[in-house]
Amino acid sequence: METVSENACFGGIQGVYRHASAATGCDMTFGLFLPAEARDGPVPVLWYLSGLTCTHENAMVKAGAQGWAAEQGIALVFPDTSPRGEGVADHEDYDLGQGAGFYVNATQEPWAPHFRMWDYVAEELPALVTEHFAIDPERQAITGHSMGGHGALTLAMNLPGRYRSVSAFAPISNPTGSDWGRKQLTAYLGNDESTWAKHDATLMMKQAGFDGPILIDTGTSDQFIDLLRPEALAAAIAERRQQATVRLQPGYDHSYFFVSSFMEDHVSFHAEALYRD
């Protein structure tokens, strides 16, 4: 594993690292913030999954998460959103291909050889960071924005016992019912919609739910709200009587100004679960 950079940050270290990934068949880059407490032993970790067009860097630089994580003694992991590099398939549309992995294992050409982001985020990267850094694998939580919110919710509901809490900023909540979803799921997984269900937070909420607390924020002025379909997930949460806080934030849009405005709430929410005995 190659150290790309390490910078002092809120008493800890914000690092960027690159490694050869067996899951994606290419080099992958991720950001990792370790608080000062990591010098004394393993610390809880909060995974942050980013949205369409993003790399590991967007949230690492724009979300304002490190200061709040440092206060709580929590590590942050910022994975990339897709495989990249020469020989990795891409598309002229911004919402398909590189930067738009959708956190699935693609089964269709030309995506199948590299687009295995589910395996990367669920298995390979967690094993790597717990092996090389002071991360406590028994205390994990997950969050994300937009496409990353979709990934956070579906990973949490498909991997019971892995994460103590899950949150999302403006998640793509019902991709099987939205153009932000049907397009990508068809391209990556094919036309058999039965293979899509595990990647739809609304359907997974109806089927499985989550054994822990959930926090979801979406802005009422989000320019993509019709594609996000927060109302579908809210209805599924109510129908299941799932423990959850679902908030519509007046006037906020889809940007990182929105994410950073509520980051303290989300980190504090996860800290409560991560430090619960």
Catalytic positions are 146, 222, 254
Q: Which residues contact residue 120 at a Cβ distance below 8 angstroms, ignoring those fewer than 6 apart?
A: 21, 23, 24, 28, 79
Q: CA distances (Å), 196 to each of 8, 105, 107, 186, 200, in order?
A: 42, 11, 12, 9, 7
Helical residues (DSSP H) of the chain, grouped into ranges: 57-62, 65-72, 117-119, 125-132, 147-158, 179-189, 201-207, 225-228, 230-240, 256-261, 263-274
Q: What 8-state DSSP symbol labels residue 212?
A: S
Which residues lie across from 8 on neighbouring strands?
13
Torsion, Cα of 98, 100, 101, 102 (10° steps):
180
Q: In 3D, which of 23, 268, 9, 14 has the Cα closest to residue 141?
A: 268
CB 243 within 8 A of CB 212: yes
Q: CA distances (Å), 111 to each of 153, 172, 185, 208, 227, in order?
A: 23, 21, 11, 28, 23
Q: Is 10 left (phi over 0), alpha (psi -120 to 50) or beta?
A: left
Q: Regarding beta strands 26-34 and 75-78, do their DSSP bridges make them parallel or antiparallel, or are they unpaired?
A: antiparallel
Q: How many residues does the chain have?
A: 277
